[in-house]
Structure 1
Amino acid sequence: MRRIYIVVLACLLGTSLSSCLVSKKKYDAEVAAKNKLIKEKKRLQTERRKLLGQVANLKNDTTRLGKELRDLNRKYASLRESSNLTTTQLRKQLNERQKELQRKEQLLANREAVVQKLKAAIDRKDNLLKNLLGKVRNALKNFNPDELTVTSKNGKIYVSLAEKLLFKSGRTDVDRKGKKALGKLAEVLNKNQDIDIQIEGHTDSIPITTARFRDNWDLSVLRATSIVRILVKDYEVDPKTLTPAGRGETTPVASNKNKEGRAKNRRIEIVLSPKLDELFQLLDQG
């Protein structure tokens, strides 16, 4: 009986021990599983934090990029508006420049036309002077070179008549031979109305001593006016073309230190100039 009891007790102890061994394995497995879950949870939490950080960064980037996009849109709109304004201004400036260019081209054309007219007028004046010079020289060819000379310079003709051809010393009345020379010249002047005539009296440097004249100025002026009167009264030269002038001793053509030089300085110069009215009018147009 006792033996049976021992056997039964042994069986019960074996069964209990086996059951305990099974429970421990199960516990260890559950602990391991739990630890694994805890570790996985931590990993997932770490991953979640990373993802949340990335989401926050993406939101910030989106906000920044959105602001940049809006700024770019504003700048683009501003540039487009400015471009339209600049284009309009450039077109306006171009139109103004074109109008100014056309105006200047027209002005240049007008001035070129005036220049051509001036050239033509100058050519006519030069031809008139050349023809007049030939006619004056031909009219006075019978007089000696020491009595009168005919020269051309600076666009004018100078007829220089020596004192001995016209006047006695200290006198203003013209001698017969001098009147003859003036008559020959007057024939040419009356056929050429487009000239101005200046009659200039010249003296030497020796002061005049007669009671009639205060100085050489008086003598030169009165001699010039005597020539003018003869041309007008005796030879019907248009008085509007004549201008008397006295130069006294101020414009010598030779030295006053010797007799020959002083004789050359005592003279009447008749200066013939083509009328320049046409040239002045053309210059006013230019």
Structure 2
Amino acid sequence: MRNKYSNKVISLFFIIISIAAADAAVFYTPSEYNTVYNEKIALQLELKTLNRQYQNEKNKYENTINGLNAEIEKLKRDLEQLNSSCADQKKAFEAKIDELQKTINILKDTGSEKEKSLIESNRLLQERCEDDMEQAKKRWDEEREKLQKELADLKASYDKKILALKDDIANLNEELSDLKKLTDKQKQELSRMENQASELEKQLDQEIQKGDIRLKKFHNRLVINIDDRISFDSGYANLKKEVLPSLKKIREILSQFPEYSIVVEGHTDNIPMKSQKFRDNWELSTERALAVLGYLLQDKNLNPVRFSAAGYGEHRPLVSNATKENRALNRRVDIVVIPTVQGQ
């Protein structure tokens, strides 16, 4: 499977070069061709860097998995040795018990207190032996389960990184195709949006570091992703007070770009939603988008004409909803900033 992904990336890389060369020959002057060609080379270098990062991450996690497998095999061998040792001890205890039982049978005839004490000592010895064996088995079982869980977690993390790298490669290919069509005017507008994104990153640094806010920069739009942990309680569309400072910073930045279009998008996971207030995830996601939009428009410097809201329910996930962590990533509100670029 990993070789299949690598071959696809390499094939896609050569296809991009061929298409880029063909398009440049047909549609660009020498000066424009050099500009686009330099941009293409930069993107190809970035693609190579991502591929190297992907390969490094893959090698690291493969080494980790191999190490864990070796540790599991060692634990299995140790467990087998322990079982064998316990079996030998059990035989020795059984022989001792048989010997003591014979003594007990002899002493039973006299019925003295000492004889009764010996019988009780034999019973306690037998129970202690059985308890020791049970505790040892329990410890090894717990250790094995712990290692198996760590292995599963590592694999899930590895798969998540693979998916993220594939998305990055797809985005780069899309941007490479679109960037060839940009005029100087369009590039100036997109440069302004890049400055806006940098300013947002600076002002929201604390929230970004905590994972409450995520910024995604594309060549033709900026997506501000707000995690639902700080924005809404489960099953509700009322903004939590924890998210208000971040939203205030965002709307102050947006007011500096009055010509941009803003779309507020609500998203949920795939867990079915039905309550007295909301019929399904469509309605919940839409109401959450409207809640964020309403707070942004409290700033009278923002023109409502350039704003819109949409709810997509569970139908536009960022990642698979297979795990609890992935479902948390899919529950979000996105503020999509789209520059008005002449000619687009």
- Give the structure-1-normalised TM-score: 0.54
Question: Hey, what does 1:47 align to over in structure 2?
Answer: none
Question: Hey, what does 1:195 align to over in structure 2?
Answer: 260
Contact 1:161 1:268 in 2 (8 A): yes
Alignment RMSD (CA, Å): 2.3
| Counterpart residue identity of residue 217, structure 2 | S
| Counterpart residue identity of residue 203, structure 1 | T
Question: Hey, what does 1:216 align to over in structure 2?
Answer: 281
- Give the match's secondary structure for 1:191: coil
Q: Distance in 2 between matches of 1:238 and 1:163?
A: 26
- Give the match's secondary structure for 1:130: helix
Question: Hey, what does 2:332 align to over in structure 1?
Answer: 267
- Give the match's secondary structure for 1:248: coil
Match of 2:193 among 118, 129, 132: 129
Question: Hey, what does 2:304 align to over in structure 1?
Answer: 239
- Give the match's secondary structure for 2:269: coil
Question: Hey, what does 1:279 align to over in structure 2?
Answer: 343
1:138 matched to 2:171? The reply is no
Q: Relative to 1, partners in 2 of residues 1:136 and 1:220: Cα closer, same or farther, differing over 3 Å?
A: same
- Give the match's secondary structure for 1:279: coil
Number of residue pairs the alignment of both structures matches: 166
Q: Distance in 1 between matches of 2:307 and 2:329?
A: 24
Q: Distance in 1 between matches of 2:204 and 2:220?
A: 20
Which protein shows a greater Rg? 1
Q: For each residue in 1:3-51, what CA deviation from the matched residue of structure 2 results, as whole angstroms up to 9, or x when unmatched?
A: xxxxxxxxxxxxxxxxxxxxxxxxxxxxxxxxxxxxxxxxxxxxxxxxx
Question: Hey, what does 1:185 align to over in structure 2?
Answer: 250
| Counterpart residue identity of residue 267, structure 1 | R
Question: Hey, what does 1:173 align to over in structure 2?
Answer: 238
Question: Hey, what does 1:63 align to over in structure 2?
Answer: none
Bigger CA drift: 160-169 or 149-158? Answer: 149-158
- Give the match's secondary structure for 2:286: helix
Q: Relative to 1, partners in 2 of residues 1:182 and 1:132: Cα closer, same or farther, differing over 3 Å?
A: same
Contact 1:183 1:235 in 2 (8 A): no
**Within 5 Å, which residues of 2 pair with 1:76-87?**
none
Q: Distance in 1 between matches of 2:233 and 2:324?
A: 16
- Give the match's secondary structure for 2:278: coil
1:253 matched to 2:318? The reply is yes
Q: Relative to 1, partners in 2 of residues 1:235 and 1:166: Cα closer, same or farther, differing over 3 Å?
A: farther
Q: Distance in 1 between matches of 2:304 and 2:275?
A: 30
Displacement of 1:254 in angstroms is: 1.8
Q: Distance in 2 between matches of 1:236 and 1:216?
A: 32
Q: Distance in 1 between matches of 2:227 and 2:194?
A: 24
- Give the match's secondary structure for 1:184: helix
Contact 1:136 1:185 in 2 (8 A): yes
Question: Hey, what does 1:159 align to over in structure 2?
Answer: 224
Contact 1:186 1:235 in 2 (8 A): no
Contact 2:238 2:291 in 1 (8 A): yes
Question: Hey, what does 2:29 align to over in structure 1?
Answer: none
Q: Relative to 1, partners in 2 of residues 1:210 and 1:245: Cα closer, same or farther, differing over 3 Å?
A: same
Q: For each residue in 1:152-200, what CA deviation from the matched residue of structure 2 results, as whole angstroms up to 9, or x when unmatched?
A: 1241111100101110111111111211111000110111112111100
- Give the structure-2-normalised TM-score: 0.46
Contact 2:216 2:224 in 1 (8 A): yes
- Give the match's secondary structure for 1:269: strand
Contact 2:228 2:332 in 1 (8 A): yes
Contact 2:258 2:302 in 1 (8 A): no
Larger RCO: Structure 1 or Structure 2 (Cα < 8 Å, ≥ 6 residues apart)?
A: 1
5+ residue gaps, structure 2, are 1-31, 33-181
1:230 matched to 2:295? The reply is yes
Match of 1:207 among 269, 272, 286: 272
| Counterpart residue identity of residue 210, structure 1 | S
- Give the match's secondary structure for 1:233: coil
| Counterpart residue identity of residue 140, structure 1 | L
Q: Relative to 1, partners in 2 of residues 1:146 and 1:256: Cα closer, same or farther, differing over 3 Å?
A: same
Q: Distance in 1 between matches of 2:248 and 2:306?
A: 16
Q: Distance in 1 between matches of 2:302 and 2:222?
A: 17
Q: Relative to 1, partners in 2 of residues 1:234 and 1:123: Cα closer, same or farther, differing over 3 Å?
A: closer
Contact 1:202 1:265 in 2 (8 A): yes
Contact 2:264 2:336 in 1 (8 A): yes
